[in-house]
Structure 1
Amino acid sequence: MKLFPFAHATHPDWSMAAGLVLAQLRAQMALRDYAANPTLGLLYITDHYAVHAQDILEHVSAELPEITDWSGTVGVGIASNNVEYFDEPALAVMLCAVPPHQYRVFSGVAPLGVGEGMGFQPHTALVHADPTTPDVGELVDELASRTATGYLFGGLAASRADTVQFAISGNGNIKGHGKASGVFRGGLSGVAFGEDVPVVSRVTQGCQPLGEQRTVTKAEGNVLLEIDGRPALDVLLEDAGISLDKPKEAMQLLRATLVGLTAPGAEAVVERARIFGSDVVVRHIIGLDPARHGVAVASQVQEGTRMAFCRRNAQAAKADLVRICAEIREELEPEELEVHVASALAAPEAQAGPHVARGIAGAIYVSCAGRGGPHFGSPSAELQIVRRALGDVPLVGFFAGGEIARHHVYGYTGVLTVFLESPAAGG
């Protein structure tokens, strides 16, 4: 297996940052353990560079002509191995050594499925989406249905400037793009991967339930009217510890309270460690209906939906992030290793190293814009947790306005996806 070359840099001048990134990539591509002939590039920029998106894409693609395909987007922050860039101009690139016949770049003008006539069957997909797109949740769900596994990973772009996505393939354009530049606004874009591109992906939650798991017994649109047969507002006040006798304190607690929803029939909602499971989607409380003792939430809710009121919790988020990294490592490392491999992995210098025995070629981490930085206690703390738990693997990603995993759009979560060793992968 060859590691995916990756690089990141910050500079007020995007061309200087791009130069630093290109130098790092070329140096890695000359190393034995890194892929020398990748063809797919992932490009993430902070919103400081959004106005220069076209120039950046044209520059890096011209400097790396061997990379025929590009995908990516913008975030209020971007991530790479052990580092986060928030509120500063920065970009990150990872070059993926994936067989060209095992992936397809797609966008709104070249939707997923355009390559099926060539025998390509999408199994999973990396997705970038514009949060202002109408019914974006339904579009994500529909896109998942076009894959064999139903599994998507990615996130909604987040920008205080232009909200852009990168999607370009082959000789400048995907078939159907016409004169499209490769920089898009609105809709969905990304990369679909075939069966021979194995990935492992996990969702980590950032909120902790305040009370027990309950059931919505009466709802109207997005208003919870009854929970477990009781007025929804009464349950909220009880679980969240809110007293209306102290209006100022009550409003502060109410603003900090959210609701975790799970569709009827979905699996475990709350794990033994009091952490939400991956079936839970967290939504804001957007208002109260005193006349009906109802609670309005930022999602349509059906009767029978399971739910729990919750709040963001940094300690719970850290523990859950470590848990998903451990699960990924356990899945990759077999129970029985050859003596020389086990010894190499046990050595102190290998604990954080990208040892090929770990089977990880590269990783993508998409986290909520509200999770990074101060939420974990210090700059880059979230990505430092990932590095300590997963190892020193090639990694890029961004801080999103919503995270995508399977067919859901989440909030306050992190989605970690690793590319595994593939016999079919090129070097």
Structure 2
Amino acid sequence: MKWASGICVESDLEVALTEIKRDLARQLGDNPDLLLVFVTPHFQDQAQQLPGLVAGRLSPGLLLGCTATGVIGGGREIEERAAVVAIGALLPNVAMTPFRLTAGDLPDLDTGPSHWHDVLGVDPVAETHFLLLADPGGPAIFDPRPLLMGLDFAYPGSTTMGGLASVLQENHLFLDDGVHEGGCVGVALQGNLHIDTIVAQGCRPIGRTMTVTDCSGHFLTALDERPAVEVLVELYHQLDEAEQELLQRSLHLGVAATGLKSDLGRGDFLMRDVMQLDHEKGAISVGDLLRNGQTVQFHLRDPKTAGEDLDEMLDRYQRLHPAVDPSGALLFTCTGRGRRFFGIAGHDSGRFVERLGNIPQGGFFCGGEIAPVGDTTYLHGYTAAFALFRSVT
């Protein structure tokens, strides 16, 4: 297995692809089996021609890609200017099954796993993993969360990674020779390939863990049998002035991804936005559906915390996998991170290189990041999610 990445800031798509071809040929020595291409909105007028231009220059076995506000590759993160990135891989003894889905294609969540196998055309064998790119807009609204639940259900033990195309006006998804709007495109990878994940949500806890004792949909009304707003106001007064200011603009609710652990820490919570407080009803509006009995904890987010969180997750990966040597990596990071948030360009990819070395990596700035927490795949926000690829044998 071999991976390579190339990036070009040339505003002419054909010139950019020609330059990237030279980079990938030098690194791979052959045409890639899988090629991921991400382009900024500066190339929207050429979106329909992109698969043909890619095929004519790079001749991949399979093309997967999308439009994005910013792209990552070759050790660089490019935002707010024209750029193209391509990540190529030679994948011996790996079967690739591409798929294209819209909301109407998805089986009901109460159907059996065989319905999902039929829709995707993917048998449930060991070491099945998915790369998924989605456009929630387009001709019809597409919510990827039912698909993520379906993949977890139908393919236990699989890993799903990806992101949402992030151009504000109009997005395009690329799959082989097709260009699509709305829905999702993806590829199932099966065989001599394993995906490790590093997921950094960029938050730190405040206060203590509590139990949801009353809620309705997105509204949290009681924690440990006390009004939720009362609990939050009490916590606010326990914080210093800087934390109080941060709470007012960057408060999140961490929802435990598993109810089985007693020593919850970083990486064990799924972060969700705190949207609004209703003092009259004593309720807090949260950016996800809640249920009674969940363990939760309030969290804050700022650049320093996000950097420390990423460092800790990268260090944890090294501790858990001291002998692992990944061949390549994909980075799906949020548009809410990047230069505007951290004050420097290349923060997330740079921290990766500092700790794990010059593993070929590439990716894009997403409108939402798809990655697991525990054994469940979620749609995240404000997250840096790395997929690290290595051979099984």
Q: 1:389 Cα shift?
A: 0.8
The answer on 1:414 being equivalent to 2:384 is: yes
1:251–1:116 CA distance, 2 compared to 1 (3 A): closer
1:269–1:57 CA distance, 2 compared to 1 (3 A): farther
1:101–1:393 CA distance, 2 compared to 1 (3 A): closer
Normalization by structure 2: what TM-score?
0.85
1:100–1:165 CA distance, 2 compared to 1 (3 A): farther
Structure 2 residue aligned with 1:371, among 337, 350, 368? Answer: 337
- Counterparts of 2:153 and 2:21, CA distance in 1: 37
Structure 2 residue aligned with 1:193, among 174, 182, 189? Answer: 189
Per the alignment, residue 153 of structure 2 pairs with 145
Q: Which has the larger radius of gyration?
A: 1
Per the alignment, residue 323 of structure 1 pairs with 312
Deviations 1:283-313 (A, max 9, x none): 2222222222111112111111221222213
Structure 2 residue aligned with 1:301, among 290, 312, 316? Answer: 290
Q: Which runs of 5+ in 1 are unaligned?
A: 31-35, 173-181, 335-357
- Counterparts of 2:313 and 2:352, CA distance in 1: 9
1:49–1:226 CA distance, 2 compared to 1 (3 A): same
Q: After the TM superposition, which residues 268-287 of structure 1 pair with which residues of structure 2 at under 5 Å, given as runs?
A: 270-271=264-265, 276-277=266-267, 279-287=268-276
Equivalent pair of 2:124/2:154 in contact (CA under 8 Å): no
Per the alignment, residue 131 of structure 1 pairs with 136
Q: After the TM superposition, which residues 345-384 of structure 1 pair with which residues of structure 2 at under 5 Å, given as runs?
A: 359-384=325-350
Does the residue aligned with 1:5 lie in a helix, a strand or coil?
strand
Deviations 1:297-349 (A, max 9, x none): 12111111221222213223222322333343445443xxxxxxxxxxxxxxx
Q: 1:251 Cα shift?
A: 8.7
- Counterparts of 1:266 and 1:286, CA distance in 2: 28
- Counterparts of 1:148 and 1:310, CA distance in 2: 30
- Counterparts of 2:309 and 2:128, CA distance in 1: 27
1:185–1:331 CA distance, 2 compared to 1 (3 A): same
Structure 2 residue aligned with 1:290, among 272, 276, 279? Answer: 279
Per the alignment, residue 21 of structure 2 pairs with 22
For the aligned residues, what is the CA RMSD? 2.8
Per the alignment, residue 63 of structure 2 pairs with 70
The structure in which a higher percent of residues are strand is 2
* Identity within the alignment, %: 27
1:221–1:115 CA distance, 2 compared to 1 (3 A): closer
Q: 1:52 Cα shift?
A: 2.3
Q: 1:10 Cα shift?
A: 0.9
1:331–1:309 CA distance, 2 compared to 1 (3 A): closer
- The number of equivalent residue pairs is 372
Q: After the TM superposition, which residues 11-410 of structure 1 pair with which residues of structure 2 at under 5 Å, given as runs?
A: 11-30=10-29, 36-65=30-59, 67-99=60-92, 102-108=95-101, 113=117, 121=125, 123-132=128-137, 133-168=141-176, 172=177, 182-241=178-237, 253-262=247-256, 265=259, 267=261, 270-271=264-265, 276-277=266-267, 279-334=268-323, 359-406=325-372, 407-410=377-380
Q: 1:56 Cα shift?
A: 2.1
Q: 1:153 Cα shift?
A: 1.1
Equivalent pair of 2:5/2:362 in contact (CA under 8 Å): yes
